[in-house]
Amino acid sequence: MTVLLGIINGTNFTMVTQDADQVTEMLSSEQNVPIGGQSGAYPENSPASPPDSFSGDASDRGGQMPDFWGGSGRDGFGMPGEGSDDRSENTEQPPFFGGFGGKESDGKDATPPERPDGKDATLPERPDGESGNQSGAAGGDRQPRSFGDMPGWGNMGPSSPETLPSARYFTVRFNQEGTGEIVNFNVSALTEEEALALAKDLKTEKTGWVKTVYRYRVYREAGYTYVIVLDQSRELLPSFRTLLISLIGWGVGLLICFGFLAAVSRRLFRPLEDADRREKNFLKEAEKAFCVPLTVIGTDVEIIDRENGPSSETQSIRRQVEKMTALTRRLGSLSLTENAASDSFDLADLVIARLDRAEDAFREKGVTLTRVIGGAVPFRGDEKALENAIAELADNALKFAVSRVSFTLKTEGDHVVLTVENDTTLPDGPADAAFDRFTRLENAGDTPGSGLGLSFVKEAVLAHNGRLSARVANGVFSIRIVF
């Protein structure tokens, strides 16, 4: 297939069909459609050859050739009998630029390094052969003019007959001594010297990309190494544009997705948030709803007592009212943690102050209170909520301790750790259930309580981004809070 097609204007310029073939292949690989030179696809003289393949006698097409191959009068590129007749020597050349299928076998045999005979009957007739002007300033002479006659163009998909003729490429041939020779030069961005140097670098390679926009292919034929370098910038530019558009599309798509997700998730999680808010509101509302009735009952019981003297019934009512009053206040403090204040204070001071106030109660019950509190622990948070939490912890420990309670406050690295321990009758194991609302553990018995105290502690700790856990080990119930 290495067939020389022409010598132009005395410059020893040769056009190698395989070269063009390779270029075409490189071009066509974008579309995955076999083109130019894939003669196998079209059986010789087969009537089944694609109608657009220009196979067979092209002479009947000659008259139809459009006039856009300017300068054809001198190009000699397969223009039969026109312009370049003096250099046409090989009439047997395969009509790479002309009818392909019909003379395929001839073309394969003939591989002299000369251009094909312009008079080849298979080449299309140019209507304006004599009148052409030069096309292109650089290398215009060497522009292949009639690639459009390539068989298979009709199957090129998006490409048109202009695709190959408009290809910008150069070919350098190296002989065995490694001397380079420009076979074909049809690029503007490089000088011939640069092209030679570039090809020299590439000749040991096979195929790939160079200088970003050039694709190259190296092949060896008849003792020569050919390096074809094909400019793909025009192919790449739309690709980059496509890529850019795709990326923008992706970006927009992602934005839409995220927007959709944001909208949906808001809707999805709203019930949860609402439930949480409703729960908090419920506690608040419950507190308020109980406030006045409890006051009314308390007032009325007081009146009855004063008028009729105390009775066991009114005493019982009073006790129940007190219990419900305490419960109501706790409900209120549970909902309090929702709007946490942000104070700066010393947590150690707060614990000490709170335990001081509880000391009497401990003494009354005969429970030993031990404090292990080091230096100051600067803290930022809702002082009131934490004070209430410490009070609840002390209250709870006192309530369920057998004989001793200890409070330990220390810093571990960046963390503040508060541990509250009391001896207990509970079996060993985790006891985090103690933090659940209205939950009382097995040892609660008839100890008064609402099952709310520690749930308030939990709320307060979580509101301060702390963690807490409760467990029983070796008869000691311990709550560990880490801020």
Task: Give contact residues for another protein (rule: CB under 8 A).
Answer: 284, 287-288, 290-292, 294-296, 298-300, 302-303, 306, 321, 324-325, 328-329, 332, 336, 339
Contacts of 178 (CB under 8 A, 6+ apart): 200, 203
The residue among 340, 345, 377, 342 whose CA lies nearest residue 463 is 340
Two structure tokens written together for 378: 């600067």
Strands of 175-331, DSSP E: 180-186, 207-210, 214-221, 224-231
Nearer to another protein, 179 or 295 (CB): 295
Nearer to another protein, 261 or 296 (CB): 296
CB of residue 379 vs another protein: minimum separation in angstroms?
Answer: 20
Strands of 122-266, DSSP E: 169-174, 180-186, 207-210, 214-221, 224-231
CB of residue 297 vs another protein: minimum separation in angstroms?
Answer: 9
Q: Rounded CA gap, 133 and 363, in Å?
A: 117
CB of residue 392 vs another protein: minimum separation in angstroms?
Answer: 16
Nearer to another protein, 55 or 388 (CB): 388
Nearer to another protein, 68 or 290 (CB): 290
| Residue 196 contacts residue 172 (beta carbons within 8 Å) | yes
CB of residue 296 vs another protein: minimum separation in angstroms?
Answer: 5
Strand-by-strand arrangement of the 476-482 sheet: 368-373, 404-412, 415-423, 476-482, 467-473, 429-430
Nearer to another protein, 96 or 456 (CB): 456
| Residue 44 contacts residue 102 (beta carbons within 8 Å) | yes
Q: Cα–chain-centroid distance for residue 19?
A: 42
Q: Rounded CA gap, 254 and 398, in Å?
A: 58
CB of residue 324 vs another protein: minimum separation in angstroms?
Answer: 8
Nearer to another protein, 224 or 290 (CB): 290
CB of residue 339 vs another protein: minimum separation in angstroms?
Answer: 8
CB of residue 251 vs another protein: minimum separation in angstroms?
Answer: 48
Count the neighbouring beta carbons within 10 Å of the beta carbon of residue 366: 9
CB of residue 323 vs another protein: minimum separation in angstroms?
Answer: 11
Cite the DSSP H helix spans in 104-169. Answer: 104-109
Nearer to another protein, 284 or 480 (CB): 284
Nearer to another protein, 321 or 369 (CB): 321
Strand-by-strand arrangement of the 169-174 sheet: 180-186, 169-174, 224-231, 214-221, 207-210
